[in-house]
Amino acid sequence: MKPKVKYELEFPIHSSPQLLYQYIITPSGLSEWFADNVNSRGEFYTFIWDDSEENAKLASKKSGEKVKFKWLDENNKETEYFFELKIQVDEITNDVSLIVTDFSEEDELPENKLLWESLVSDLKHVIGSV
């Protein structure tokens, strides 16, 4: 398996940080834009798309600011890979941005960035930030 590269994307979002946080931490919020369905049992989340599902553990969260999920392997052991969604508020303008940190195989990087752009576009539609 090839090592993955870490990358970060920033998306401006017209929303209050509190509202945005509900869409990145709750299974119901995440299932409105990130996956077809999201289930959680405590700190363990299952992300379901069409015909696949991935398990992740809520590695850390800071209320109203960020959430980090670590991907689990088929034995439900933590992998080194994660994705983090961080809400950043500009101190001067109060502009809100969503910072996405994720990993991708090098040759899949362009399409994974496009996937995040599409996902965040869905998120913006859901919260009325278009």
> Is the pLDDT at 1 greater than 80, yes or no?
no
pLDDT attached to residue 130: 74
Tokens of 44: 């363990």
> What would the pLDDT profile of 82-125 be if each residue is shown by its tens digit?
999 999 999 999 999 999 999 999 999 999 999 999 999 999 99
CA angle 109, 107, 99 (to 5 degrees): 10
> What would the pLDDT profile of 4-54 be if each residue is shown by its tens digit?
999 999 999 999 999 999 999 999 999 999 999 999 999 999 999 998 999
Question: How long, in residues, is the chain?
Answer: 130
For tokens 């991907």, what's the residue?
71
How many whole angstroms from its chain centre is CA 78?
17
